[in-house]
Amino acid sequence: MTIRVLHVLSSSGIGGTEVSTLRLARETQDLLETAFLILASRGPISEAIERAGFPIAHAPATSLVTTLRALPTIVRILRDSNAHIVHTYGLRAHLLGRTLGRLAGKRCIVGGLRSLTGTSSQGEHWLWLDRLTFPLSCGYVSNSDAAIERFAENGYPRARLWRIHNGVDLDLFRPATPDERRAAREGMGIAGDCVVMTCVASLRPVKNHRLLFQAVGKLDDRVLLLLIGDGPLQGDLERDARELGMEDRVRFVGRVTTDELPRVLGASDLCVLTSDSEGLPTSLLEAMACGLPVVAASVGGIPELVINGETGLLVPPGDVEALTEAIRAVEADDRLRERMGRAGRERAEKAFGLRRMADAYVEVYRKLVSDRRA
């Protein structure tokens, strides 16, 4: 029997959750039948899903009014999907997928746990709502042990929490050849003596780009920061860069497609992430697969991905001095960058292949369907 899966996404933007879910769908095409329901209007991920050939439906539920209007549509889509598994991502998708999924007769509803934000002090309301509806689901699939531990500490049953680390396409994300690196830097107008530090993250408060700006201000002028991504803070961050006199040292590249990202990483010397909260960030995994050393805040599942002193350097979150010293140590030492980059690639090949991730999801889906039938 071919298992049918309906992925229910809260957002139609391009983020780690959306990209990872589409990669999962592509990698399991030979094993699963996959469709998508997005609880928002059409967006960038919608176009990518359509290009990949997967069925997709939209039921915008971004406010109380639009949610009430969308309820009958969501129930109909869930019922007509004939899905064996309903896999939800994000609080809106969890709440609506669990409650309306039950009304539509769905018995295998599982959540994707991608972040620790919901268990922070700012997320108490989130946690209460999630706990209230969690019994309607089979459980959570998390991309990090850190998230599982946090939720278990908050009373969620460990037996209904499964960990599957993110995976990366190791053929697409690979170390650039010298010719590819030279061409990428020339195409982006990057001087040959620049040390290029890339941060792939949406421009939102939780990513703490302002801390990164503070560190860049303390570094040698030859360090160029590329910001990949967009978001609500873009205007504020552009203004900050101007006020700090760093217009020439911080470049806002904007949103980059998955196919274009390896070229940008090929022009880079290291990858940095200063988030206050994370799950298991795909951006760091992609950088490691491209042979880049990583400097990152030691939060969430990042220590499960980056081995401190081997594939990169980890620093306490919010510590600008530690961040500055870690970046300086890496950017100033060509041999260290090469050694860490090589170790990162080897780690990605060993533990974070896309097929490994896909097979693990298929195994969980099969177990859930089998258990429900029994």
Q: Match 């497609």 to its residue by tokens.
A: 257
What are 140's strand-pairing partners? 111, 161
What rounded mean pLDDT belongs to the chain? 93
- pLDDT computed for residue 79 by the predictor: 95
- Beta carbons of 27 and 112 less than 8 angstroms apart: no
Structure tokens at 156: 């969620």
Structure tokens at 333: 């030492």
Residue 262 to residue 351: CA distance in whole angstroms: 20
Residue 192 to residue 179: CA distance in whole angstroms: 13
Residue 199 to residue 233: CA distance in whole angstroms: 15
Residue 344 to residue 106: CA distance in whole angstroms: 41
Reply yes or no on whether the pLDDT at 138 is more than 80: yes
Q: How far is CA 266 from the centre of its chain?
A: 20
Hey, how many other C-beta atoms are within 10 angstroms of the C-beta on 371? Answer: 11
- Beta carbons of 313 and 292 less than 8 angstroms apart: no
Q: What backbone phi and psi angles, to 5 degrees, belong to 223?
A: -80, 125
Question: Span 203-222, mean pLDDT?
Answer: 94
Model pTM score: 0.88
Reply yes or no on whether the pLDDT at 118 is more than 90: no
Residue 202 to residue 229: CA distance in whole angstroms: 5
- pLDDT computed for residue 170 by the predictor: 95
Reply yes or no on whether the pLDDT at 239 is more than 60: yes
- pLDDT computed for residue 119 by the predictor: 44
Determine the Cα angle at 234 with ends 228 and 240, to 5°. 105
Local confidence band at 122 (pLDDT 50, 70, 90 cut-offs): very low
- pLDDT computed for residue 321 by the predictor: 97
| Percent of the chain whose predicted confidence (pLDDT) is above 70 | 97
Domains of the chain with bracketed CATH: 3-166+354-373 (3.40.50.2000), 178-351 (3.40.50.2000)
- pLDDT computed for residue 127 by the predictor: 77
Task: Give the containing element (helix H, strand E) for 235.
Answer: helix 234-243
- For the segment 333-347, what is each residue's pLDDT rounded down to a tens digit? 999 999 999 999 999
- For the segment 285-321, what is each residue's pLDDT rounded down to a tens digit? 999 999 999 999 999 999 999 999 999 999 999 999 9
- For the segment 13-26, what is each residue's pLDDT rounded down to a tens digit? 888 889 899 999 99
CA dist 193 → 218, 280, 331, 332 (Å): 18, 32, 12, 12
Burial pattern 271-303, b for ≥16 Cβ within 10 A else e, equals bbbbbbbbbbbbbbbbbbbbbbbbbbbbbbbbe
